[in-house]
Amino acid sequence: MKLMNSRTKADIQRIYEQRRDNSQRALEKRQQEVYKRLPRVREIDDEIRRTGIRMAKAVLGSSEAAEDLVIKTQERIEALKMEKAYLLTEENISADYLEPKYQCSQCKDTGYLEDGTRCKCLKQEMINRAYQMSNLDRILHKENFQSFNIDLFSDKPFEGEALTPRENMADIAGYAEGFIGNFDEDNGENLLFYGTTGLGKTFLCNCIAKALLDRNKIVIYQTAFTILDILERRRFRRDESDMTDYEYSMLFDADLLIVDDLGTEVSNSFTNAEIFNIVNTRLLSGKKTIISTNLTPNEISEIYTDRVFSRIFDKFIPLKFYGKDLRWE
């Protein structure tokens, strides 16, 4: 899932411009309502603007007289603001009624914080757009806990397992719901889903993704193969766009990273090192991760280095999926 191209970026910029325009129009409407009820407030606002201009001109001067004028101007503006606040209070109008109302108070609907970094709302908007473009939003609409049907899983014993597939899936679903419910806790909880194809691993990943996206969490859902593509594009600079760097950074910074189909990517020293780096960095920073794979623990140990294997099985809760392939039921 590629996060954003230039056209999408322009679309998002227009969305933020529209939000600011809407905020300004709403503010102007509230101002006119207040001016109609309290003409004196309009006079105060006009005087504050004129006084501010005079102060700006005075700042350009360097004489002692100019400095004195600045002090007197500041005092006058404060007095006008106090009078305005009093008038509004007398009319039971809240102090912030004549302030802009932004959808995001942190970035004031610009998408960027004061230090120039992307606001969380912009990151989420970019991810939401990416999901729409990749059709994942339609999938998550269909595959979620509301559509989860435990009766699809067999209630008969399966190949010597202690629980039936249905009982096992009920336990796993309980883990998943607990994972969502305790997501904001710094509990180091990560999940490893393993088992053969067609047993509901991807479906359950979608359920978790949908639940957390609905809580405004930043969720990145990528196959291991796509993650490898992002790593290679950044490492070997096959794509010079800043979006490659952004895609790479989100592997580390997203609230939840879901790695689907671990083991389908080409395994070599480069991929082993990068997968360890992603998993280990997220663990150290308290970011949560879900890994889904068709491999058994033994197969994982054969494909990946000891430190990748030990990091996954030491810090992830392994949950085994078993039963008959539901795609053929």
Q: What is the pLDDT, as a whole number, of residue 27?
A: 94
Domain stop point among 34, 55, 90: 90
Q: What is the pLDDT, as a whole number, of residue 293?
A: 94
244 and 309: one domain? yes
Q: What is the pLDDT, as a whole number, of residue 328?
A: 60
Q: What is the pLDDT, as a whole number, of residue 12?
A: 85
Q: Is the separation of the CB atoms in 183 and 213 below 8 Å?
A: no
CA distance 47 to 221: 55
Q: Is residue 124 part of a domain?
A: no
Task: Domain count for the chain, please give it.
Answer: 2
Count the neighbouring beta carbons within 10 Å of the beta carbon of residue 130: 21
pLDDT digits 0-9 by tens, 74-97: 888 999 999 999 999 999 999 889
84 and 193: one domain? no
Q: What is the pLDDT, as a whole number, of residue 79?
A: 93
Domain stop point among 35, 70, 90: 90
Q: What residues contact 248, with CB distance under 8 A and at least 6 apart?
A: 230, 231, 234
Q: Residue 262 class from Cβ within 10 Å (0-12 exposed, 13-18 middle, 19+ buried)? A: buried
Q: Is residue 314 part of a domain?
A: yes
Q: What is the CATH number of the domain that holds 300?
A: 3.40.50.300
Q: Is residue 1 part of a domain?
A: no
Q: What is the pLDDT, as a whole number, of residue 195?
A: 95
Q: What is the pLDDT, as a whole number, of residue 63?
A: 61
85 and 141: one domain? no
Which stretches in the chain have pLDDT values below 50? 1-2
Domain hosting residue 23, numbered range: 6-90
Q: What is the pLDDT, as a whole number, of residue 163?
A: 96
Q: Is residue 294 part of a domain?
A: yes
Q: What is the pLDDT, as a whole number, of residue 64?
A: 63
Tokens of 240: 């010079």
Q: What is the pLDDT, as a whole number, of residue 319?
A: 96
216 and 155: one domain? yes
pLDDT digits 0-9 by tens, 232-259: 888 776 555 555 677 788 889 889 999 9
Q: What is the pLDDT, as a whole number, of residue 93?
A: 93
